[in-house]
Chains A and B, each alone.
Chain A
Amino acid sequence: MNMTQKRSLARVLLAFTLLGFLLINNQSFGQEQAAEAETEAAASSSGPIPTEPARITEGESLFNGNCKTCHKVHQKLVGPALANVYDRAPSIDWIVSFIQNSSKVIASGDTYAVNLYEEYNKTQMTAFPTFSRDQILSIMAYIKAETEAGPGGDDPKGDETNVTQTAGDSVPAAYLNAIMVGLIIVLVLILVVLVLITTILRKYLNQREDLDEDDEAIVNPTLDFDKLVKSKPVIFLVAFLFTAIAFKVVVNQLYAVGVQKGYAPKQPIAFSHKLHAGEYQIDCQYCHTGVRKSKSANIPSPNICMNCHSAVKTESPEIQKIYAAIENDRPIEWIRVHNLPDLAYFNHSQHVKVGEIECQTCHGAIEEMEVVQQHSLLTMGWCIDCHRKTDVNAKGNDYYTNLVELHEQESKGAMKVEDIGGLECSKCHY
């Protein structure tokens, strides 16, 4: 009986699943038919754009490799948003010839192309002469697929990841804060309760008459504060501490005379090294071009700023100051941060090109500074210390060959800067 019941149940289940399959198949079949009908309709209006998934994926990889830096499907970037481009543009043939060589189409006087060129501030689209018509059609197929997916296609995913990320980062921190605040409140409450208990107990004990003298002393302790303060050890300790601290402050401050460590003047333009050298990882030497060639590392002239800021953040009031400087042909009066006294000579190229010393060795973590400040002491002791410790970067530099040989005859250690005259007065003072 049991067995037959199970079997009949299984049969019913099987029947249901089969039915389900059939239904789903029917539905998807219906969708396919609809899609085909749509593509036929589209084909009649905008030409033969392929719809096979293989062509779409081919188009996607071509788009990502060649187009996406200037174009998005649903958003205007350097060039126009490409959604519906196959319906907008004069013809598929026009698109093909424009992608293969846009300047030729513009030069031919084609009105649509010329208008486009004018609309985008005469930015010329890079020519792709190697693209075949088929490849361009694949890209169109990808654009069409994306157009139909709608602009929301990518965004929710991005939002979701963002949400989960922020949740992952911030929720434990918030919990931690709440826990800490709770703990503090509990501790304060305990303290209040304890104080209350002691006062009540004291009051109660004071009301009792049968306490002897010792107990009385414990209940109402009498501490002679005045006597304690005037005792010799305390006076000595206080005097000693005061003198020691005062002495240290005086000596420290005297050593700080002439030292500008920590000097961080406000610059005429709020340029952030943290953003440029830190987040965007632009090499120091991209802007400070003199550092390998001359005494000074140099402050970049505005044309170097304009390599990016002709297109980036053009609306920012700080960037507008660069434009104003260029327009009025006036220098930007940056304030020098590292003012080595004139009595000492220092040369950047010698240290950076020959010595291969990192900028950060002397200038500190510039890539983390919103406003640049002097990181090192720039005192003579500081220079000498480094010259004593640092090995000469003699590897692959013929200039040092003889010096290294001579040095090795006399000593076994590495050749330090001091061994080749790095401590001579006249090296830096003349």
Chain B
Amino acid sequence: MKLYNNLKLASVLAIGVALTSCGAGGEDQGLEYAPNMYHSVPYEPLSQIVDETAGEAAEFLDPNTDDKHGEYYNSNPYNPSRMTMRVPPANSVPRKNAGYILPYRIPKDSLDYAARTLQNPLTEDKEALLAEGNVLYSRYCNHCHGPNGEGDGPVAGTEDKVVFAGIANLQGAAYQNITEGHIFHVISQGKGLMGAHGSQVSQEDRWKIAMYVKKLQNQ
């Protein structure tokens, strides 16, 4: 009887201990329920299972495959570095409702040419465009150039502890007379220490930011 009681107690404790390892935390993803519904069979853009033995236990679900790896393995060893997201073929162009969007091709060192020739294609409803420009400016520019473009965003650091030196003060004398085309070109290709932001900001958005910067300067 005593042995029986002790066994009961021990089994309850054992179940408790076993269950404490179910939850996730730190490096541990925890226990999964029905993992064959959790893991993607097609390639995933931002994650992949490279362990070829993953999901071997679930192989019986589809006994006819002879792919020689577990059910959950979804990596592609034939792509460079196993990447499932690939760079589009050279010279291909994205399509949109309005047609094709040709990439911006004026090279980085042709700032003067761009500043002279580029014209802002956005002209309708300037107020709305400027409001959008404000949102975009605070998203992409604020942390370096500061809310008023004075080069005093948090990334610039403080007088005592400079973090990123050389952020342009857009209110400074050197930038007062620049054109919207100049700003568009600098956002697209970068200038000096500023990196090219063409991959992050769409062309339309770049024009909106350029408009907003001119508005900031004229305030």
Task: Give chain A's interface residues, CB within 8 Å of chain B.
Answer: 62, 65-66, 69-70, 77-79, 123-124, 126-131, 158, 246, 249-250, 253-254, 256-266, 279-283, 285-286, 289, 296, 298-299, 301, 303-304, 306-308, 310-312, 330-331, 334-336, 339, 341-343, 374
Contact = CB atoms under 8 A, between A and B. Distances in A.
Contacts of B47: 335-336, 339
Given A253-B22, A256-B22, A341-B37, A310 B168 contact: no
B21 to A, nearest CB: 8
A126 B169 CA distance: 11
Contact of B142 (A79, A131, A281): A281
A282 B195 CA distance: 15
A289 B200 contact: yes
Contact of A126 (B15, B22, B32, B174): B174
Nearest to A79: B166
B22 A254 contact: yes
B140 A283 contact: yes
A331 B174 contact: no
25 contacts: A66-B173, A69-B169, A127-B174, A129-B174, A246-B12, A256-B31, A257-B30, A257-B32, A258-B31, A258-B32, A258-B34, A259-B30, A263-B25, A263-B26, A263-B28, A263-B30, A264-B25, A286-B200, A307-B190, A311-B165, A331-B81, A336-B47, A341-B37, A342-B38, A343-B38
Contact of B22 (A69, A131, A257, A343): A257
B156 interface: yes
Contact of A342 (B27, B28, B37): B37
B162 interface: yes
Interface of B: 12, 15-16, 19-20, 22-34, 37-41, 45-47, 81, 83, 138-140, 142-143, 151, 153-156, 159-160, 162-169, 171-174, 176-177, 190, 192-197, 199-200
Nearest to A158: B160
Given A258-B33, A285-B139, A339-B29, A312 B38 contact: no
Given A263-B30, A286-B140, A306 B192 contact: no
Given A126-B174, A286-B200, A310-B195, A263 B24 contact: yes
Contact of B20 (A123, A249, A311, A330): A249
A312 B164 contact: yes
Nearest to B12: A246
Contact of A249 (B19, B143, B162, B196): B19
Contact of B23 (A259, A283, A304, A336): A259
A304 B155 contact: no
A393 B37 CA distance: 32
A260 B164 CA distance: 37
A265 to B, nearest CB: 6
